Amino acid sequence: MIKRILAGLGLVILALVAVIAFRTVQYRPGPVEASQPFSVGADIDRAAQVLAEAVRFRTVSTDMSHPDFPAFLAFLEQSFPAVHRTMERTLLEPVTPLYKWQGSNPDLPPVMLAAHYDVVPVTEDTLGEWDHPPFAGVVADGFVWGRGTLDNKGALIAALTAAEKLINDGFTPERTIYFSFGGDEETGGLGAIAVAEHLRAQGVQLAWVLDEGSFVLDKIIPGLDVPVASINLAEKGYLTIQLVAHAEGGHSSMPPRHTAVGQLARAVARLQEAPMPGGLTGVSAEFFDALGRHFSIDKRAIFANRWLFDPVLEGILSGSPSTDAMLRTTTAPTMLEGSPKENVLPTRAVATVNFRLHPRDSIDDVLVHVKAAIDDEGIEIVADRDLASPASPVSDSQGAGFKDVEASIREVFGPIASVPGLTIAATDARHYAKAADAAYRINPFQIEGDDLARFHGIDERLSIANIERGINFYAALIGKQ
């Protein structure tokens, strides 16, 4: 009897191994045709100089009354005369230009390319740490240096350079193409909201819009040698709440067993120990399913057999902040407020908690979860609904827009991995999506790990090689319309 059981168990194990092996072998990237990299033949040196000059305009998002905002728009007119001669421009508040390049076939729904030209401030005490002054627009060592090169003037200049070259070459798109350049993306995107409202008022429904969101990631994802272009289908929502504890106060020499600070600390600890439910579903599943095909065979075995290894895989992915953020709505306590003096018991203690909402969760879902996790009627939960926004709709990774973006990326960057992803921060795309059937998010630049600290940080820069890639990407994409 025992021999028969062991023999049967052995057959089950062999069958299981065979199934795992078969699924692993079948689980691989689709074939990609090799071809010569596409080039539109733009003047790259001139484009680098134009971007350098664009950096010199101090279009800092915290001061939109600065004269450099209108001056930057005048600079675009001077730098791209064919664009301004050919396209209709509408200026929407606050300082957001919308360009319309009329296509030859009015029956085709239009598309839109978007970027923004406002930038985040530079902290005064970091100025001495920059290799080149942040607003000097220096071209050196194969890079254009300065605030806004990566985020997001580089994409704006690349898109307009591509359009300028195509117009001068006699090209006219078949479908109408809009270009929208936000002037306040870093502070909420009222300009993008105005663009979406303007288009809807004109009866315009975009087939798709492309905005910032991710990059071609080189040597950033552990275990992957091939660069990964994450073409993001959606972006997370945003919610900030305050947890408030009340008490009588008094002198710290005679404290109660649980002060307002103690009660608040317990609530924050409980909330952190109970993360929002996550998992490999929806856009998260699409991302990791596409990405998993590019790993070595041992790791592919896990991704290919999620029916067996899902709990293990989710546990591994939850262990890293970057991948955990792809799985769930994240919980981030960021600010604490209590007594103004160390020997005074506060009558009110406040914790501020920021959530980035996964598309599967609503604002109300988060609030229900917070209340249950804290389980303390003495804690007041105050949600800032005015500044909150739900996650964006999830666009179709099989749609024509996604396929055009993916094909254009491959034509310029070669046979890299391309995957549908999720933007974990906020962009103007969430506003443009209200006037579009789909919204996609990627910057056509290749970055490495040390570039990540440059976003909103010190020594922001964009390589001239990336400027060329960006121009060629936009030209390839425009040429498909």
Rounded to whole angstroms, the Cα distance separating 316 from 202 reads: 49
**Residue where a domain stops, chosen among 365, 383, 401:** 383
Same domain, 251 and 216: no
pLDDT band, very low/low/confident/very high, at 1 (cuts 50, 70, 90): low
Same domain, 195 and 213: yes
Catalytic: which of 118, 184, 186, 404? 118
Tens digit of pLDDT for each residue in 258-290? Answer: 899 999 999 999 999 999 999 999 999 999 999
Same domain, 219 and 256: no
pTM higher than 0.85, yes or no?
yes
Catalytic: which of 184, 185, 211, 460? 185
Same domain, 203 and 60: yes
Stronger pLDDT, 22 or 31, i.e. the higher one: 22
Domain extent at residue 379: 234-383
User: Taking 90 as the threshold, does the pLDDT of residue 19 lie above it?
Assistant: no
Buried b (16+ CB within 10 A) or exposed e, 43-72: ebeebbebbbbbbbbbbbbeebeeebbeeb
Span 322-334, mean pLDDT? Answer: 95
User: Taking 90 as the threshold, does the pLDDT of residue 377 lie above it?
Assistant: yes
- The domain that holds 219 is classified in CATH as 3.40.630.10
Rounded to whole angstroms, the Cα distance separating 297 from 313 reads: 15
Instruction: Kindly state whether residue 35 falls inside one of the protein's structural domains.
Output: no
Q: For residue 93, indicate whether it is catalytic.
A: no
pLDDT band, very low/low/confident/very high, at 10 (cuts 50, 70, 90): low
- Total domains in the fold of the chain: 2
Same domain, 132 and 242: no
User: Taking 70 as the threshold, does the pLDDT of residue 391 lie above it?
Assistant: yes
- The domain that holds 251 is classified in CATH as 3.30.70.360
Tens digit of pLDDT for each residue in 38-90? Answer: 999 999 999 999 999 999 999 999 999 999 999 999 999 999 999 999 999 99
Same domain, 118 and 147: yes
Same domain, 61 and 202: yes
Instruction: Kindly state whether residue 111 falls inside one of the protein's structural domains.
Output: yes
Q: For residue 185, indicate whether it is catalytic.
A: yes
Residues in contact with 15: Cβ distance below 8 Å, sequence separation at least 6, in sequence order: none
Same domain, 376 and 470: no
Span 411-430, mean pLDDT? Answer: 94
